[in-house]
Structure 1
Amino acid sequence: MPHCMCRHSATIPTETCCFCNSSVPEKLLDICFNYINKDLESICEYTGYSGYLKLKDGISLPVEICERLLDVRFRSLCNVDSNFINIFKDTKNTRLKRVRLRKSNIQDHDLEVLLSHQLLELDLGQSPELTHNSVKLITAFGSSLLSLSVGEETNIFPRTYYGDLQRVDQDFIFLAPNLRRFALKSCQCLPAQFYSVLLRPLGNLTHLDLSHCSSLGKLECVGHLKNLRSLILFNVDNIEQMVPAICKLKTLTHLDVSQTRQEHRKFPRPNVILTTIVESLHNLTSLDISGTNLAGTGVAETVKSRGSDITGLKSRVSRPFYFLGLYETTHDACLRHDIPAKLIAGNANEEQILISALAYMERTEMLQKVLNELFHLFRFETCQYIGQALNVVLEAMNKHLHERHIQISGSATLFYIVKGTDRELHDAVHVKRKIISTLLNGMSIHRNDETMMRNGCLTLCQFRIPLDVLFEYERLVEVLLYAVHGMTAESFVQRIGIYLLNSLACQIDGYQKVRLGELGAINKMIWLISERLDRGYCDDVLEVAWSTMWNVTDETPANCRKFLENNGMDYFLMCLKRFTDKDDLLRNMMGLLGNVAEVKELRHYLITPEYLTVFSDLLESKCDGIEVSYNAAGVISHIASDGPEAWTVEEPSRQHVLNKMVTAIDSWDLSSHRNINYRSFEPILDLLKVYHTPECQRWAVWALANLTKVYPEKYCHLVEKEGGLVLLQELMEHPDPPVAIKKYADRVIENCWKFKNYDWQQELDG
């Protein structure tokens, strides 16, 4: 196992870092869940009446499987809608106890399906489609609920709801008698009396979160909560009016009065208020005053105040808090000495920043600032707890997919983490996959954001393409194609996107190459070429666009056909005419046409006077060494291999072009180094059998002689593996081929024999 780079801190409470056990392969259970999530019909079928999904007969899923499937569905950005929720309508064969919806579009009838499982925990997250009828459902099925969270944008308590309540003479909003934890976030424009009615029947609460709620008055609504241990009043206004009510909650162990809004940061007499709270609540072990002035100025008001730089906490010096939130407090309280707490959320150092990230993971505004701090730490300083930092960034990005600034800060930090830990990542397959999936999640949602796309592409460049990314192949292709086609022309994102796409295209085979064409690679490249031609502009993007099509069409007839169907030959001629002095461009274009010419059923598209004249003229080209001339000869050889009857044009004549090809071949240096990569010699070896046109054989044997001479370690084995030596021997023994052709064939056989019998051990010893 490689050395663990996480350097765990005994003071940072976090899950096992990503790099611990980094060589452990992905769990089979995770693989199974991802497979089922992508293909729900493997366990489900569609009902005839509603058309919704339901479990197949004979399948029964325990609670652990059902909850995990729901969670995986959210994490993978798949739809959690009525169709999916209907799977859980069968309460005999599916079971749910804890449901966290996060951001979803479920409706009231979907919520009824979920609540019918007698849930213990329900987090509605951001579910804007739910109505006040959901409240009735919570009452109907709420007897089992222990935890309920109503997130932002979930408006199940509309402004008029309290008025309706008065008319029907109810004394409760909803009933959930066993509820222990309740979070109501961003409830606005309701009177203080609403909260009294809401909380009245919830006397067993131990945890209450009223973040961003307004009009709480003096907080008299919590006076009857005798078992309350945690009270969160994040971004609640006028908290100074609530201090008397807070101080009566003697059972509190955690209090959060933190702020991010400038107008509510300053409390009158902050030292007095903090002292009052701390000395009234003796059971507090966790206190969050981030973003406020409650920590004072750091200057002791009296001699007796000495012992802590935070005057209001002087009574806790001998009994420090477990956690103290001091992030963005006025006068930089987190930088002071003698802070009575084991864990401090602040920005004084790396530990404080990581603790802040964990503490404020649910708070996008604060989390964004913390991630910016983390980014600067990785960019300009040395990070000690890389494993924990990576955990924090990945969790933040996956939890807040639609928050642009979090995605940008997170992806920028990931770039520096990946760049600085390439060795550790080499064996950590599951860590790499986690990073790549997280990046693609963010890039998919924020694909129109130049900064996000740039950060994502730059980070992806740090991985091994395609080896590390094949598990997310289609999503990556879709994102890159959008970067190429949907982003600003000539932007950095477009440029890096097409380079990544080309790197991917040149190293994949078979179905993946076909799929690349199906996803629109050819269309997008043609669009790029057209756009450059319209402006008369030749740059590296234009050259790489042709290179990408060259790679995508290699041994892939379907993509060759797409090139022709998208008027590729017209663009070839236009580029040839407009950019005559661009060697790399011409080489890439001719390499692509070589792939097209290898497809027998497509060759007739190339047999026109104009195209054949161009190919014939290019035989004399000196561009890029012999590459353009070589590729032109390859195209002509494949066309001619179909016999004289296939050459259906009078000018240029077949024999004239073949004679020019022989002259070109004889002028090439057999020791020329090549800018080409063959993965198979099958098309070339097929030309060895074309005895009716020895010129085709001439090009084929020259190509093999050159490649086995210059790159014997790469191509000698390939010739033998694909049966080339047998065909060459047959050619040598055949009476028809000219001596010059047999001479080249003999060179190939000799090159392969020498390579096979070479004393490599002697070379190494020497």
Structure 2
Amino acid sequence: MDAEGPPTLCDLCLAQVCRSLSSLCSMRADGSMSLIWAPVFPQETADQLLNHMAAKEILNDTTVGIFRNCKELRLRRASIRSCPLSAEAFHLALCPHRLLELDASWVSGGLTGADIVSGLASNPECRSSLQRLSLNGLRLDWESLEANGGIHVGFSSLRGLRMLNLANTDLNDAALEDICTLPHLETLDISCSAISKLTALLECKNTLRSLIAHRQRHLDMSPARLVFVFSQLHALKHLDFSEDHFSVDDSDGRDGDETVRQLLEGSPQVLPSLVSLDISGRKRISEAAIRSFVESRSGLVFLGLLATGVSSCDFFSTQKNLKVTGEADENQVCEALRRYRDRECFVREALVHLYSLTTDTDKPQPDVLKLVVSGMQRHPTSLHIHLVATACVFNLTTQDLAEAMPISLLSSTVTQLLNTMKNFPNHQQVQKNCLLALCSDYILQEVPFDKYLAAMLVINWLSSHEDPTLQRMAVAVISILVAKLSTEEMAQFSKDIFIMKQLLAIVQQKAMVGVVDSTLKFALSALWNLTDEMPVAARNFIECRGLELYEEVLESYYTEPSIQQKVLGLLNNIAEVEELQVDLMEEDLLEHILSLLQDSQVDVGVRYFAGGILAHLASRPDAWTLENELRSTVLKQLHDSIMTWTHLEREMVSYRSFHPFCPLLQTCQPAGVQLWAVWAIHLVCTQNTSHYSSMLEKEGLTELLKALAAHPSTHSDIKGLSDSILSMVEQHQIHAGAFNNQTAPQSS
């Protein structure tokens, strides 16, 4: 059971709306969508619909048009993060709303920060209502706005702003001065910007409660002056003055490090009410200074010390209310992954330490896995992050750990692994890590994900790698995935002759040295599944000279029933295709298969598949091109041999459908052919009555069996098995009917 529980009814409804937008909407002249009819949405539901569309990556200039209807869809807290929107679409769909919050971070499509601010300011209600605005990762680009005839409207026009996030923008000193005139500004993020002076912050010293100034490379202020500015921010509770330790050398970060040293070792009267301080990535920090700073500020609840070298200070064990990001233990590392999701340098650092901490873990940690996957999702192009994150995924899902994880979490994890394989196709270690994580029976069998995509990615990887261990895992994964594909997916997959060549090459590689290992068995299983009721794949097999190879394997592995079964199973699939039966009409091959059928010392599973090949070939006398005497022998030996077979408890074979059996069950067929077919159906029905009874009814085989049982010339052995199968079907119908009656709603 999924520990996270089922999705809410609201989420299900919104997901359905997202899937059905094209049928629910008409198109305006400008190509945007408009809902044909809509009730007045609860305000929160309108926000959720927008967020769902953004999360599902379907929010764009066309679909955002539904939000032009401000009466039925009233937005207050809007997120268009990472969506491709133009300035015009943004102005028409979002600016008319009385927004409280807007997250437009990392939007694409040409929308700039200047477009957003001027658009919002054009709505008098937004000027006062908007409290939170995030424009991380955007170009502000006031110059382009003015060049196109727009009016430069600064952030100060949005007088209600309390929180403003401008990380990774081209924010400059002039814009900062404008921002600091906002009367209610409480939270400001200016990380990774081009600011050279922080003096403007003194204008909002009585309101600013949180300052995030990560990676300020362009600051041109002395450490003493910076500390003075910080000391004057009387309302400040949260200060982030961290640094990207991967991309800074000693000389670049020296002033910042000195600022932090002076702050830590300075007067307790500087920022006495500080609740959180983040100095991760800073150098030359002493444990003594940290201890003194924390002891003099009793309200401190968070300290960022990742990549500083002092997070393992013994002093922290006595600070029960203090959360620390660092590398001393798993709690510190996970805290770093939670807080630094958007900072590649810190996510990378935290994952390196998490990998070491989880190498020998023996307890399920779904919360930790979530953090790892989140880091991968936030940084899809970072090789460094995906290299370590995929190794962490393996640590956290290996052995039995996956079985204790929520299915939905595993599903999103595997989806992310597949995205990683797509994004880094040529990086061997990343591909290896993904393959290691995927190579889990539980994940492959029980977790929903795009199995077709996974099979294609793994087969492509296999084509350029020959490491025996990885080859074994890749072939094992493909073998299981192929069996999980839908009929439509299998048809698409089987068209690719390249796939057939890859798998046959592995079989040939193993057969040349006569080895019996799991790689050979998995490759044979994959080929068997690939050709199951897939004539195109069967034809590809023959064109790739697979038949000649399989004849050699059949003879050289005569003492290996597990190998012989898989070889004969595929030849069964070939024999089911009428136009390919002629390729099997080789006297030496059929006599060898006949000898396997007759030999009582041979495993029943091997004899079963040998019988199947011969039954299909002998069922069409007009297509039989060899001596008639051989066909007569085949038919006699089929009957004689089958009657000696013992019932098999283990599941030996499964069928997608019973369609290939229909020609064999005709009343005009020889008894040997009919007997093999009814014995096969009886076998699988005994082992999985519910599944195969339903299949028999659905595909009309019960009528064929009834006709066979009733026909006067049908052999008694065949009648007996047919009656037994029909009895199982009848019992299944009775049980199914009784169950349905018990579970049906009662009228009284």
TM range (shorter): 0.7 to 0.9
Q: Tell me what 2:365 maps to.
A: 386
CA offset digits 1:124-161 (Å, max 9, x no partner): 22234324544533433451321122222x22337x67
Q: For residues 514 and 527 of structure 1, what CA distance do their matches in structure 2 show?
A: 21
Q: For residues 447 and 36 of structure 1, what CA distance do their matches in structure 2 show?
A: 35
Are the structure 2 counterparts of residues 484 and 330 from structure 1 closer, same or farther at C-alpha, using a change threshold of 3 Å? same
Structure with higher RCO (Cα < 8 A, 6+ apart) = 1
Q: For residues 381 and 103 of structure 2, what CA distance do their matches in structure 1 show?
A: 18
CA offset digits 1:715-763 (Å, max 9, x no partner): 79968995999988986886646xxx64576588799999x99xxxxxx
- TM-score, normalised to structure 1, is 0.76
Are the structure 2 counterparts of residues 399 and 619 from structure 1 closer, same or farther at C-alpha, using a change threshold of 3 Å? same
Trace 1:65-76 onto structure 2 (pairs within 5 A).
65-76=45-56
The answer to whether the 8 A contact 1:75-1:398 is kept is no
CA offset digits 1:150-187 (Å, max 9, x no partner): 222x22337x679979x999684673221111111223
CA offset digits 1:102-132 (Å, max 9, x no partner): 3333222232233332322222222343245
**Which of 217, 232, 237 lines up with 1:248 in the alignment?**
232
Trace 1:1-12 onto structure 2 (pairs within 5 A).
none
Report the AA paired with residue 458 of structure 2: A
Are the structure 2 counterparts of residues 348 and 404 from structure 1 closer, same or farther at C-alpha, using a change threshold of 3 Å? same
**Which of 649, 660, 676 lines up with 1:699 in the alignment?**
676
Q: For residues 281 and 429 of structure 1, what CA distance do their matches in structure 2 show?
A: 46
Q: For residues 83 and 494 of structure 1, what CA distance do their matches in structure 2 show?
A: 45
SS of the equivalent of 1:223 reads helix
Q: For residues 227 and 286 of structure 2, what CA distance do their matches in structure 1 show?
A: 21
Are the structure 2 counterparts of residues 546 and 257 from structure 1 closer, same or farther at C-alpha, using a change threshold of 3 Å? same
The answer to whether the 8 A contact 2:572-2:613 is kept is yes
Q: For residues 730 and 625 of structure 1, what CA distance do their matches in structure 2 show?
A: 32
Trace 1:447-466 onto structure 2 (pairs within 5 A).
449-462=427-440, 464=442
Asked whether 1:25 is paired with 2:6, we answer: yes
Unaligned runs of 5+ in 2: 732-748
Q: Tell me what 2:737 maps to.
A: none
Report the AA paired with residue 147 of structure 1: R
Q: Tell me what 1:490 maps to.
A: 466
Q: Tell me what 2:118 maps to.
A: 136
Are the structure 2 counterparts of residues 576 and 168 from structure 1 closer, same or farther at C-alpha, using a change threshold of 3 Å? closer
Q: Tell me what 1:297 maps to.
A: 286
**Which of 2, 15, 18 lines up with 1:37 in the alignment?**
18
Question: Cα offset for 1:414?
Answer: 3.4
Asked whether 1:641 is paired with 2:631, we answer: no
**Which of 169, 183, 186 lines up with 1:187 in the alignment?**
169
Asked whether 1:656 is paired with 2:640, we answer: no
Are the structure 2 counterparts of residues 284 and 565 from structure 1 closer, same or farther at C-alpha, using a change threshold of 3 Å? same
SS of the equivalent of 2:169 reads coil
Q: Tell me what 2:734 maps to.
A: none
CA offset digits 1:603-627 (Å, max 9, x no partner): 1342358568744553335898465
Trace 1:277-426 onto structure 2 (pairs within 5 A).
278-293=268-283, 296-299=285-288, 310-316=291-297, 319-332=298-311, 334-337=313-316, 342-380=322-360, 386-419=365-398, 422=401, 425=404
Report the AA paired with residue 43 of structure 1: L
Report the AA paired with residue 517 of structure 1: A
SS of the equivalent of 1:279 reads coil
Question: Cα offset for 1:442?
Answer: 4.5
Asked whether 1:145 is paired with 2:130, we answer: yes
Report the AA paired with residue 61 of structure 2: S
112-121 vs 438-447, greater mean Cα deviation: 438-447
Question: Cα offset for 1:552?
Answer: 4.8
The answer to whether the 8 A contact 2:572-2:609 is kept is yes
The answer to whether the 8 A contact 1:327-1:334 is kept is no
CA offset digits 1:578-637 (Å, max 9, x no partner): 656356666434423423544xxx413423585687445533358984656643442342
SS of the equivalent of 1:620 reads helix
Question: Cα offset for 1:286?
Answer: 1.4
**Which of 157, 160, 164 lines up with 2:141 in the alignment?**
157
**Which of 241, 257, 260 lines up with 2:241 in the alignment?**
257
Are the structure 2 counterparts of residues 174 and 501 from structure 1 closer, same or farther at C-alpha, using a change threshold of 3 Å? farther
Q: For residues 395 and 716 of structure 1, what CA distance do their matches in structure 2 show?
A: 41
SS of the equivalent of 1:93 reads coil
Q: Tell me what 1:588 maps to.
A: 566
Q: Tell me what 2:202 maps to.
A: 223
The answer to whether the 8 A contact 1:234-1:257 is kept is yes
The answer to whether the 8 A contact 2:236-2:271 is kept is yes
CA offset digits 1:321-371 (Å, max 9, x no partner): 121222222445644456696222222223222222222222221022112
The answer to whether the 8 A contact 1:447-1:483 is kept is no
Report the AA paired with residue 139 of structure 2: N
**Which of 263, 275, 298 lines up with 1:273 in the alignment?**
263
SS of the equivalent of 2:164 reads strand
Q: Tell me what 1:14 maps to.
A: none
Report the AA paired with residue 607 of structure 1: V
The answer to whether the 8 A contact 2:495-2:536 is kept is no
Q: For residues 511 and 196 of structure 2, what CA distance do their matches in structure 1 show?
A: 63
SS of the equivalent of 1:54 reads strand
SS of the equivalent of 1:208 reads strand
CA offset digits 1:256-286 (Å, max 9, x no partner): 1111234316633754332447522233111
Are the structure 2 counterparts of residues 268 and 102 from structure 1 closer, same or farther at C-alpha, using a change threshold of 3 Å? same
Question: Cα offset for 1:250?
Answer: 0.7
403-412 vs 81-90, greater mean Cα deviation: 403-412
Question: Cα offset for 1:33?
Answer: 3.5
Asked whether 1:677 is paired with 2:653, we answer: yes
The answer to whether the 8 A contact 1:616-1:657 is kept is no
Are the structure 2 counterparts of residues 456 and 168 from structure 1 closer, same or farther at C-alpha, using a change threshold of 3 Å? closer
The answer to whether the 8 A contact 1:179-1:205 is kept is yes
Aligned residues: 694
Q: Tell me what 1:114 maps to.
A: 94
Report the AA paired with residue 630 of structure 2: H
Asked whether 1:177 is paired with 2:167, we answer: no
Q: For residues 330 and 743 of structure 1, what CA distance do their matches in structure 2 show?
A: 81
Q: Quick one: percent identity of the two aligned structures?
A: 22
Report the AA paired with residue 258 of structure 2: P
Are the structure 2 counterparts of residues 120 and 284 from structure 1 closer, same or farther at C-alpha, using a change threshold of 3 Å? same
**Which of 488, 496, 499 lines up with 1:525 in the alignment?**
499
Q: For residues 6 and 281 of structure 2, what CA distance do their matches in structure 1 show?
A: 43
Question: Cα offset for 1:209?
Answer: 0.7
The answer to whether the 8 A contact 1:279-1:315 is kept is no
